[in-house]
Amino acid sequence: MFRTDTATDAELAARRDELVARLPGCAAHTPGSLHRNYRRCGKPNCRCAQDGDPGHGPRHVLVRYEAGKPRTVQVPAEMAPEVADGVAAYREFNDLVAEIAAVNSELSDRKLRRAASPKAAARGKKGGSAAGGAAPARPPAPFGRRSPGI
Ligand SMILES: [Zn+2]
């Protein structure tokens, strides 16, 4: 697992460029998650009423949250592989974007810290825990938050 906190600036930049190069194209992206459902029809004499029967199906559905509410779309069985690929591509894209953001956040933080106190940065080149006494108090975050991480 790549660690942003211990990597050098050059390693962070290289990692970021590697992640950007891996971003898949967006054309096939399908937001949502694909599920396979089995259901019971409720008829007491149907096979699905027997113990151990999985029920009717599978029925494929694509679930997507829009404005916080789940929306379900039926997916014909023959289209399920294509939709699954699109869902996976979109997920991979988002995972990569989140990782790129984490690397860029670390790079940006370091750059800003160095700019804010160039002397401390020069002095504390080796130590990881800048306990040199001149460490600035941790400011509140009025302009946005750190990425929650991955
Ligand atoms: Zn049934």
Residue 78 Cα to ligand 1 midpoint, Å, equals: 22
* Spatial separation of the C-alpha atoms in residues 40 and 57, rounded to whole Å: 9
Residue pair 4/13 in contact by the 8 Å Cβ criterion: no
Instruction: For residue range 40-70, list pLDDT tens digits in order.
Output: 999 999 999 999 999 999 999 999 999 999 9
Is the backbone of residue 46 left (phi > 0), alpha (psi -120 to 50) or beta? Answer: beta
Report how far ligand 1's centroid is from the alpha carbon of 61 (Å).
Answer: 19
**Per-residue pLDDT tens for 3-33?**
888 999 999 999 999 999 988 788 889 999 9
Ligand 1 centroid, distance to 53 Cα (angstroms) = 9
Between the CA of 55 and the centroid of ligand 1 the distance, in Å, is: 6
- How far does residue 108's CA lie from ligand 1's centre (Å)? 58
pLDDT of residue 121: 56
